[in-house]
Chains A and B, each alone.
Chain A
């Protein structure tokens, strides 16, 4: 592999690659993201490879691309057949021979595998016409389905690494000016203006500086960073090289959690490939600029997402934060000026350089520019990754893209911002999603988790869940967070187990204030948000637990009993067969009965009953 030294050489290579790609008439892109893999994508890929081998079809007829996540995880395994962009979902290995025979060879569409519009019942052939995709603006995430993440040539073919020589020509002040003008704000959660952060690091004294990519993604319920890392690692690396040049850093780290082994592998491959082309290493694009990246794996600690804790982890210590009276841009990793940005932020940089700051700034709202990827999950019909311009309303995301609530249930709330964020109720569904409006609503943007709750979710239980999560993840260094969260968990536990009193609510509010005001780092300072936001919007649920000793959603086990309605029960015996503890008895075709002394309240009978005869009280 020859090292590429000029923009012209790069353009020539990209043109060659595009020409070569056209030689095969059809491309089958199979999603191998984690969601699709869990649903059997590996078997589909294997079947496709052997089918093509069996039929002796060579690359001039068809090529397979094993891509990263396409986003529509709910419907996986996903397959897109180009050039016609035919979109198949829920593909099974046994469908593969038919797909090759009918679609690849004869060019006809298989109706059965097409997406059906939920309302019009019309079959949709093209991926771009599926409502889930159609309403998105996929700037950062869109390339995923076109490239094999382990093949750098695929990235170059679609214009990858072309921003780098342009940026090198701009010079550091030019890059920073562009990023500032574009109005890019950190996608990791805080929303700090990226340009200002880079400016600070560029001005800081010191010969040694670092850039770091935070791919730790500790937020439970968010996986967009994983999907970019696994599906398009070069976009992150290109962004980091540009950022490093802008602040004068010669060394970079990608901090990936070890729970994402494929991300570690794909970043490693990408770094090696980038070195071979000379995008990393000495004298990049003959600019005299040297830069290289190393991977640092995290051992699994939510607090490691906090910048100073992340530095400690890279330095080989326990991920414990330090007081932040000095900015990381002055003294970060090894006490050197450091820029730490999140995966999605880095992946936005090549786009800004290529398309220009003004173009980027035209997308989004006044103070939040560009797009944001959300992990739309929970009780929504179309779960998956969604990239939308800033300023789109929650309603559009949940109802138009997400297809509304599963099984026709009633929407209750949507949680954004992970454990540091809050729950937003139905009355605020028309809120435009950007950094500031979410903060005003008592939540935050966070890294982009968007978990939808329906009437079957108990908000006190959710508050308890987050508090329990943070209690376990508190590093234990400062007392308000360590002891305060444990105490808050106890109070919430009392409420969910029916021991709550009016005093408990007062105590909760006082604890929230104390923890938020006196904790050392942001983990503690934002930890009360889930409790505060549920108290603010769902106080009636707290009161039902306390005054009536009742869990309206039927989640809190201590406050719930299961009974069989003898009139509705047909005696089908399914509940008795499914009950894991043998608490249900009764003869076939006669009403059954639940022995409450044996019942563990697992709720399986409630789920399996087809006649609504199991009643939860």
Chain B
């Protein structure tokens, strides 16, 4: 820490970029009053050659012990100015950047007063920081270019292979007797739906055979000490009662072993205690007869959908638990079929048939007119929850196309009669 602080503050206009919203004069005046500030100046472009000369000369002239550059983000010019400081004999780490552009003038472009105030606050903070700065000197130390990868799942395997392929030694530490991790337990992978084993097993063999990789299965990391570039890691190998030198991996010991461990099965989630009791009361009579019957998912969801006109999330959870089907699969079914909706739908469901016969006779125009008449687009529900508008592939009434249904009633709809059709429906509704 410096005994007597002489901090220099250089405020940059950045053309119009900072000066456009931050009032530089006010800033300079305010900064002058900060304790420890020995010198303040401003300049149009501090990063330009004359700007840099100004900084370098001032450091020498005013014997500055610390520098705050109030300009753009340190990402851009921190190095420029630190190199400059080093050239004139100031330890570069005693120079800091106060970002008054990206964090101040730009975001508060239309609030110049607030921007000016914020700029002053930022500079104050950085001045306080510079006063705490100590001179730093880079050191050189030898490092061992060798990596430890902890965990032999798909991420660990890929990581180890990448490092090893780049030419470095890698030690892979895996807790269980085999690498492979959770991925082998999956049935399909997104988005190609390849089987995980197909992706994984070549990588597992690659890893086992790689010259740069040492595999430690059935092992755990005991302790880690040291620092970046110089770690010491202790690997604890669990007893395996097998002479690894002689083992051929035939697997006979496994089949002949009198003790077998079942793989741990994750407990099933219990949703029912969090589910709305009213929903349970309503759907229990539908769901209960199919308890444990995974084949009933579609049928049960159809019945629930007909109660609410959509599938509430709680209902899906209840079905998952009762029918003993993973929630992900219930969601898959619920999002696959067009009959289901995952969002609430209106009191009246308007379906416009988009079948071939109806299309040929002008169904798209009917849809346009209905969208205009009720003010929502296909797939939407009106704000007052009166209508939901949907298109369907075929209503099975092809001889009369274009066909529209409102709730369960069929209408033959000409584009120019859509208005009348709704007038009549709304009258009947009353």
List chain A positions with a Cβ less than 8 A from chain B: 34-35, 37-39, 73-74, 76, 217-223, 226, 258-261, 296-302, 313-320, 375-379, 383-385, 415, 418-419, 449, 451-453, 457, 462, 465-466, 469, 473, 475, 477, 578, 580-581, 600, 602-604, 607-608
Find chain A residues with CB under 8 A from B325 CB: 316
**Assuming the A-B contacts A35-B400, A453-B360, A603-B365, are A317 and B333 also in contact, with contact meaning beta carbons closer than 8 angstroms in the complex?**
yes
Closest to B354 in A: A220
Does B398 contact A383, Cβ atoms closer than 8 Å? yes
A382 nearest CB across to chain B (Å) = 9
Find chain A residues with CB under 8 A from B372 CB: 580-581
Find chain A residues with CB under 8 A from B293 CB: 316
Q: A602-B369, A608-B416 are in contact. List 13 more A-B contacts (CB 8 A).
A: A38-B411, A299-B336, A316-B295, A317-B332, A318-B337, A377-B356, A378-B361, A383-B399, A418-B356, A449-B356, A451-B398, A457-B360, A603-B415
Is B401 in the interface zone, CB < 8 Å from A?
yes
Find chain B residues with CB under 8 A from A34 CB: 396-397, 410
B355 nearest CB across to chain A (Å) = 3
Q: Enumerate 17 A-B pairs (CB-CB under 8 Å) in ascending A order.
A: A34-B396, A35-B397, A37-B410, A38-B397, A220-B394, A223-B397, A259-B395, A297-B299, A299-B301, A299-B333, A301-B338, A316-B298, A316-B299, A317-B298, A377-B401, A465-B356, A469-B393
With the chains together, A378 CA to B333 CA distance in Å?
A: 34
**Assuming the A-B contacts A38-B397, A73-B400, are A220 and B355 also in contact, with contact meaning beta carbons closer than 8 angstroms in the complex?**
yes
Closest to A319 in B: B336
Does A477 contact B297, Cβ atoms closer than 8 Å? no
**Assuming the A-B contacts A38-B412, A302-B393, A377-B398, are A318 and B357 also in contact, with contact meaning beta carbons closer than 8 angstroms in the complex?**
no
Which residues of chain B from 361 to 420 have any CB-CB distance to chain A below 8 Å in the complex? 361-362, 365, 368-369, 372, 392-401, 403, 408, 410-412, 414-416
B42 nearest CB across to chain A (Å) = 54
Does A39 contact B295, Cβ atoms closer than 8 Å? no
Is B339 in the interface zone, CB < 8 Å from A?
yes
A25 nearest CB across to chain B (Å) = 32
Find chain B residues with CB under 8 A from A302 CB: 393
With the chains together, A475 CA to B336 CA distance in Å?
A: 8
Find chain B residues with CB under 8 A from A38 CB: 397, 400, 403, 410-412
Max count, chain A CB within 10 A of own CB: residue among B336, B337, B372, B392? B336
Find chain B residues with CB under 8 A from A415 CB: 356
Find chain A residues with CB under 8 A from B361 CB: 378-379
With the chains together, A603 CA to B362 CA distance in Å?
A: 10
Does B398 contact A221, Cβ atoms closer than 8 Å? yes
Find chain B residues with CB under 8 A from A297 CB: 298-299, 302
Does B399 contact A377, Cβ atoms closer than 8 Å? yes
With the chains together, A73 CA to B399 CA distance in Å?
A: 6
**Assuming the A-B contacts A38-B400, A221-B398, A302-B393, are A318 and B360 also in contact, with contact meaning beta carbons closer than 8 angstroms in the complex?**
no
List chain B positions with a Cβ less than 8 A from chain A: 193, 293-299, 301-302, 325, 329, 332-333, 336-340, 354-362, 365, 368-369, 372, 392-401, 403, 408, 410-412, 414-416
Find chain A residues with CB under 8 A from B339 CB: 258-259, 299-300
Closest to B336 in A: A318
With the chains together, A226 CA to B393 CA distance in Å?
A: 15
With the chains together, A300 CA to B296 CA distance in Å?
A: 16
Does B337 contact A299, Cβ atoms closer than 8 Å? yes
Find chain B residues with CB under 8 A from A258 CB: 302, 339
Find chain B residues with CB under 8 A from A301 CB: 336-338
With the chains together, A319 CA to B298 CA distance in Å?
A: 10
With the chains together, A300 CA to B401 CA distance in Å?
A: 20
Does B355 contact A604, Cβ atoms closer than 8 Å? no
With the chains together, A469 CA to B359 CA distance in Å?
A: 11
B309 nearest CB across to chain A (Å) = 13
Does A316 contact B333, Cβ atoms closer than 8 Å? yes
Find chain A residues with CB under 8 A from B398 CB: 220-223, 375, 377, 383, 449, 451
Find chain B residues with CB under 8 A from A475 CB: 336
Does A316 contact B410, Cβ atoms closer than 8 Å? no
Does A217 contact B396, Cβ atoms closer than 8 Å? yes
Closest to A608 in B: B416
B410 nearest CB across to chain A (Å) = 4
Find chain A residues with CB under 8 A from B401 CB: 377-378
Closest to A465 in B: B359
Does B356 contact A221, Cβ atoms closer than 8 Å? yes
A557 nearest CB across to chain B (Å) = 9
Find chain A residues with CB under 8 A from B411 CB: 38
Does A317 contact B397, Cβ atoms closer than 8 Å? no
Find chain A residues with CB under 8 A from B337 CB: 298-301, 318-319
A380 nearest CB across to chain B (Å) = 10
With the chains together, A35 CA to B397 CA distance in Å?
A: 6
Max count, chain B CB within 10 A of own CB: residue among A222, A415, A473? A222
Find chain A residues with CB under 8 A from B359 CB: 220, 462, 465
A416 nearest CB across to chain B (Å) = 11
A263 nearest CB across to chain B (Å) = 9
B294 nearest CB across to chain A (Å) = 6
Find chain A residues with CB under 8 A from B412 CB: 38-39
Which of the residues B329, B400, B415 comes within 8 Å of A604, measured between beta carbons?
B415
With the chains together, A101 CA to B331 CA distance in Å?
A: 59
**Assuming the A-B contacts A259-B395, A301-B338, A603-B415, are A39 and B356 also in contact, with contact meaning beta carbons closer than 8 angstroms in the complex?**
no
With the chains together, A600 CA to B371 CA distance in Å?
A: 13
**Assuming the A-B contacts A221-B394, A383-B398, A607-B416, are A316 and B294 also in contact, with contact meaning beta carbons closer than 8 angstroms in the complex?**
yes
Does B399 contact A35, Cβ atoms closer than 8 Å? yes
Which of the residues A35, A74, A315 comes within 8 Å of B295, measured between beta carbons?
A315
B276 nearest CB across to chain A (Å) = 24
Does B298 contact A383, Cβ atoms closer than 8 Å? no
**Assuming the A-B contacts A223-B398, A316-B294, are A604 and B416 also in contact, with contact meaning beta carbons closer than 8 angstroms in the complex?**
yes
B55 nearest CB across to chain A (Å) = 57
Which of the residues B193, B362, B393 comes within 8 Å of A218, measured between beta carbons?
B393
Does B338 contact A316, Cβ atoms closer than 8 Å? no
Find chain B residues with CB under 8 A from A580 CB: 369, 372
**Assuming the A-B contacts A377-B357, A383-B400, A473-B393, are A600 and B368 also in contact, with contact meaning beta carbons closer than 8 angstroms in the complex?**
yes
Which of the residues B399, B410, B415 comes within 8 Å of A602, measured between beta carbons?
B415
A37 nearest CB across to chain B (Å) = 6
Find chain A residues with CB under 8 A from B356 CB: 220-221, 377-378, 415, 418-419, 449, 451, 462, 465-466
With the chains together, A457 CA to B360 CA distance in Å?
A: 7
Find chain A residues with CB under 8 A from B298 CB: 296-299, 313, 316-317
Does A602 contact B395, Cβ atoms closer than 8 Å? no
Find chain A residues with CB under 8 A from B340 CB: 299
A466 nearest CB across to chain B (Å) = 8
B330 nearest CB across to chain A (Å) = 10
With the chains together, A378 CA to B400 CA distance in Å?
A: 9
With the chains together, A466 CA to B299 CA distance in Å?
A: 29
Find chain B residues with CB under 8 A from A313 CB: 298
With the chains together, A328 CA to B152 CA distance in Å?
A: 41
A378 nearest CB across to chain B (Å) = 5
Find chain A residues with CB under 8 A from B354 CB: 220, 469
With the chains together, A205 CA to B398 CA distance in Å?
A: 43
Does B357 contact A378, Cβ atoms closer than 8 Å? yes
